[in-house]
Amino acid sequence: MVKMKNIVRSLFFTRDASDDELRRLIDSEHFDPLFERANEVRHLHFGDDVYLRGLIEFSNYCKNDCFYCGLRASNRSAVRYRLTHDEILQCCDEGYRLGFRTFVLQSGEDPSFKDEDICQIVHSIKTKYPDCAVTLSIGEKSYNSYLAYFQAGADRYLLRHETASDEHYRSLHPQNMDPVHRKECLRNLKKIGYQVGSGFMVGTPGQTLDNLVQDLRFLQELEPHMIGIGPFIPHGETPFAHEAQGSLQRTLNLVAILRLMFPQALIPATTALGTIDPRGRELGLQAGANVVMPNLSPVRVRKLYTPYENKICTGEEAAQCRRCLERRLESVGLHSVVSRGDYPGVRR
Ligand code: SAH
């Protein structure tokens, strides 16, 4: 059998491995050479720089009913909110002062925000802060809607594929949600010219090692600019309330594998990773991640945007979050940079 160390070596040189080799890496326990190599690759392409994205969670209304997500429409105990156009701009004002040059606007799939509303919001941010990138993360839309947002100035779009296996996808979503459509959305976003982010949850109920290999294969085909992954964390008001959470080790293994397969990708150390372990984000950075996404939402709504439970960073003002993250970065020898942090060589 090929030694693990050689698998890492060949992944480093060829950016690829066989399905069986990937399964072994995903399933490994504290295999240091994997993390050392991933760190080396991050350092090679990005030095000690970590990009900051200011996250603005502007609505927790959602028409979808994903079995894993606390924002799901059937969660009647969720207290719903939406920010106004002005409130969103105020978050950007604060963010800009704190040095953020990317704003990520995320929400549930809230039908009360029409395409014109999204375009207006994007347009106002880009007019006021032309040196900033705007990222949208508002779910599945038509080609023409995506095109309209792009023409209004949106630069990037995050839409995790969640799981690449159609069968597994159907076990996590109600029947009206279609895995083929979600993948189609990602291809449309690329066609239009967005910098595209995709990704998946680690440890969702029923997920197999083969499913995770399928996720990696799908990403190889899509070639996204950004890849976000995080552990599944159960939420009490969902059908998956009593399921086990995703493993820290497996998530870190996958971050490192992604860094080796996609050397230039922007890979966040996610809030979900920080939620299952107090040093989860630092470990994610040490596994090859190079992005953090501090929260810029007004503190009064922070606790309400909860796809999963015990989410961290819901009590502090943006400035405090910024300082806290800076200290965390320093603790692992990294530092944040004030720049848009585009995918290398891509900027329109
Ligand atoms: N409506 C947007 C944003 C969804 S929330 C969209 O469809 O893209 C952002 C991400 O949170 C999701 O893509 C999902 O991967 C993650 N998420 C949702 N529920 C979760 C849970 N219980 N545990 C961990 N991550 C979760």
Q: Which atom of ligand 1 sits closest to the CA of residue 64?
A: 1
What CA–CA distance (Å, rounded) separates 301 from 146?
Answer: 27
Q: Ramachandran region of residue 77, left (φ > 0), alpha (ψ -120 to 50) or beta?
A: alpha
Tokens describing residue 322: 């910024």
When pLDDT is cut at 50, 70 and 90, the band that residue 316 belongs to is confident
When pLDDT is cut at 50, 70 and 90, the band that residue 122 belongs to is very high
Tokens describing residue 30: 């504290």
Which one of 308, 311, 312 would you pick to mutate in the ligand 1 pocket, going by the greatest count of ligand atoms within 8 A of its CB? 308
Task: Identify the weakest region by mean pLDDT among 80-94, 142-156, 236-250, 333-347.
Answer: 333-347
CB of 139 closer than 6 angstroms to any ligand 1 atom: yes
Q: What is the mean pLDDT of residues 220-241?
A: 98
Q: In what order do the strands lie in the sheet with 54-59?
A: 54-59, 102-107, 133-137, 156-158, 195-202, 226-231
What CA–CA distance (Å, rounded) separates 36 from 286?
Answer: 8
Ligand 1 centroid to residue 33 C-alpha, Å: 31
CB of 105 closer than 6 angstroms to any ligand 1 atom: no
Q: What is the pLDDT of residue 191?
A: 98
Q: What is the pLDDT of residue 345?
A: 85
Q: What percent of the chain has pLDDT over 90?
A: 95
When pLDDT is cut at 50, 70 and 90, the band that residue 220 belongs to is very high
Ligand 1 centroid to residue 68 C-alpha, Å: 8
Ligand 1 centroid to residue 130 C-alpha, Å: 29
- Cβ atoms 119, 85 nearer than 8 A: no
**CB under 8 Å to 128, separation ≥6 — which residues?**
89, 92
Tokens describing residue 314: 């819901």
CB of 290 closer than 6 angstroms to any ligand 1 atom: no
Q: What is the pLDDT of residue 338?
A: 87
CB of 273 closer than 6 angstroms to any ligand 1 atom: no
Q: What is the pLDDT of residue 119?
A: 99
Q: With helix as H, strand as E and coil as C, how does the chain read?
A: CCCHHHHHHHHHHHCCCCHHHHHHHHCCCCCHHHHHHHHHHHHHHHCCEEEECEEEEEECCCCCCCCCCCCCCCCCCCCCCECCHHHHHHHHHHHHHCCCCEEEEEECCCCCCCHHHHHHHHHHHHHHCCCCEEEEECCCCCHHHHHHHHHCCCCEEECCCECCCHHHHHHHCCCCCCHHHHHHHHHHHHHHCCEEEEEEEECCCCCCHHHHHHHHHHHHHHCCCEEEEEECCCCCCCCCCCCCCCCHHHHHHHHHHHHHHCCCCECECCHHHHHHCCCHHHHHHHCCCCEECCECCCHHHHCCCCCCCCCCCCCCCHHHHHHHHHHHHHHCCCEEECCCCCCCCCCC
Q: What is the mean pLDDT of residues 336-347?
A: 90
Q: What is the mean pLDDT of residues 228-239?
A: 98
When pLDDT is cut at 50, 70 and 90, the band that residue 1 belongs to is confident
Task: Identify the weakest region by mean pLDDT among 73-87, 179-193, 313-327.
Answer: 313-327
Q: What is the mean pLDDT of residues 188-204?
A: 98
Instruction: List residues bridging with 298 in a β-sheet.
Output: none
For domain 2-337, the CATH architecture is Alpha-Beta Barrel (3.20)
Instruction: List residues bridging with 202 in a β-sheet.
Output: 231
Ligand 1 centroid to residue 128 C-alpha, Å: 29
Instruction: List residues bridging with 266 in a β-sheet.
Output: 226
From the number of C-beta atoms within 10 Å of its C-beta (0-12, 13-18, 19+), residue 213 rates as: buried
pTM for this one?
Answer: 0.98
Q: What integer best gives the mean pLDDT of the chain?
A: 97
- CB-CB neighbours of 299 under 10 Å: 14
**Residue whose tokens read 């004002």:** 93
CB of 161 closer than 6 angstroms to any ligand 1 atom: no
Q: Judge whether residue 348 has pLDDT over 80.
A: no
Query: What would the pLDDT profile of 17-34 be if each residue is shown by its tens digit?
Result: 999 999 999 999 999 999
